[in-house]
Chains A and B, each alone.
Chain A
Amino acid sequence: MRAMYLANYFVAGCVAFSLLGWVASLHPIALRGVLCLLGAIAIAWGLSWLLDFSLSKLLKISVADLQALLIGGFAMLLIGLGVFLCT
């Protein structure tokens, strides 16, 4: 059941990035906005990797869990945008 809920949240993340791509495809300004958002996400993602120990203490989760979240988020971004762009 735990795998089920993790998979559902993963699918939700993938769909969210697909929706982000869909929003970006509506208008060039939306595309810029989405690109800015993706850039911010990338910076936060990189900082999270650098500050993983302090961030894990702040979020009260283990470092392994934080790293799993970061890798999962990256996978969601790749899959979600990949599905949107390839279809």
Chain B
Amino acid sequence: MHLKLFVLSASSVALWIAPLAALDKTLDIHKALQGVSLGAAIACAVTAGNIARKQAEQDEIEEIKTRAIKADIVDEISTSAYVSQTQRQQEAEQILNGEGECSEDVQRLERALALKYNEDEPNCSEHPKQLAESEQNGTSNEDVQRAERILELRTKGWGKLKIILEIWGLTRGGGSKYKAAEAEYHRVIDGVENA
């Protein structure tokens, strides 16, 4: 299209200037050729002008389209930025204003965390009980063993003083420790006899 335009433009100028400059105006044939070439030059110039005008209109339309697309893109970007900024602002305001909801969420999370740790680890409140039970069991086992030992020694004919000395390692005159051992001895004996 551009080549055609340039050829037509150049040929219109050539057909206008060349016959007038080169041909003789006194000769009829030359005069006729000048007239024909001038008419052809007008036709070429008008055709080239029309082509150039259509091309210019198309270029304008393309430019308008490009500008519209750019404006759409800019508008879309600015709108999305505005919307996201507004959303962020609203969320921030909700977080700042809605402390009740927030505390509920926090409580829910704390509860969930507590449940998780209860599943993973033994409960701390139950731990002392178990320790106490195991301690008590240990004590009772010790008492049973001690009672069995006392009975064994009694069957052998050992006396109270000798048994206390054997089991607790205390002799009479040991003070409060001896008295406690004697009370324990009696308690075990009474318990065995009652059973």
Chain B residues with CB under 8 Å of A11's CB are 9, 12-13, 16, 41, 45
CB distance from B38 to the nearest CB of A (A): 4
Q: Give per-residue flags for A57-85: 1 if the beta carbon is below 8 A from chain B beta carbons, else 0.
A: 00000000000000000000000000110
For chain B, the count of residues having a C-beta within 8 Å of the partner chain is 29
Name A84's closest neighbour in chain B (CB-CB): B20
Q: Tell me the bound Cα distance from A2 to B107 in angstroms.
A: 74
A19, B49: Cβ atoms closer than 8 Å: no
Contact in complex: B46, A14 (CB < 8 Å): no
Tell me whether B17 is interfacial, beta carbon within 8 Å. Answer: yes
User: Which A1-52 residues have a C-beta within 8 angstroms of B?
Assistant: 1-2, 4-9, 11-12, 14-16, 18-19, 22-23, 25-26
Q: Which of B13, B21, B31 is the one whose CB lies under 8 Å from A26?
A: B31
Interface residues of B in 1-40 (CB under 8 A from A): 5, 8-9, 12-13, 15-17, 20-21, 25, 31, 34-35, 38-39
Q: Within 8 Å CB of B5, what residues of A?
A: 4
* Consensus secondary structure, chain B interface: helix
Evaluate contact between A15 and B49: CB separation under 8 angstroms.
no
Report whether A4 and B9 are in contact in the complex, using a CB–CB cutoff of 8 Å. yes
A15-B53 in contact (CB<8A) = no
Q: Which B-chain residue is minimally distant from A13 (CB atoms)?
A: B45
Contact of A16 among B25, B42, B49, B59 (CB under 8 A): B42
| A2 with B56: CB separation less than 8 A | yes
Q: Which of A1, A14, A23 contacts B16 (CB 8 A)?
A: A14
Across the A-B interface, the 3 shortest Cβ-Cβ residue pairs = A5-B52, A12-B45, A8-B49
Instruction: Mark B residues whose CB is within 8 Å of A.
Output: 5, 8-9, 12-13, 15-17, 20-21, 25, 31, 34-35, 38-39, 41-42, 45-46, 48-53, 55-56, 59
